[in-house]
Amino acid sequence: MLTLNNKLITAGALLLISIITGIWLSHIGRPLNTMIFTIHKLIALAGAIFLVIALYNPFKTASDGPVIMILTALAALFLLTLFVTGGVLSSEKSLPGFVLLLHKISPAVMILALSGVIYLLIQKSSAF
Given the rule CB under 6 A, which residues bind ligand HEM? 15, 18-19, 22-23, 25-26, 32, 37, 40-41, 44, 47-48, 82-83, 86-87, 89-90, 100, 103-104, 107
In the complex with ligand HEM, the residue whose CB is nearer, 34 or 126, is 34
Closest approach of ligand HEM to the CB of residue 11, in Å: 10
Q: CA-based angle 14:59:118, to the nearest 5?
A: 55
Q: Which is nearer to ligand HEM, 4 or 17 (CB)?
A: 17
DSSP assignment of 35-95 equals: HHHHHHHHHHHHHHHHHHHHHHHHHHHH--SHHHHHHHHHHHHHHHHHHHHHHHHTSSS--
Q: Shortest distance, CB of residue 51 to ligand HEM, whole angstroms?
A: 9
CA distance 57 to 127: 8
Task: Give me the least distance between CB of 61 and ligand HEM, in Å please.
Answer: 26
**Would you say 102 and 86 are in contact if contact means Cβ atoms under 8 Å apart?**
no
CB of 41 to ligand HEM, least distance (A): 4
Q: Which is nearer to ligand HEM, 48 or 120 (CB)?
A: 48
Q: Tell me, what DSSP letter sits at residue 31?
A: S
Closer to ligand HEM by Cβ: residue 13 or 23: 23
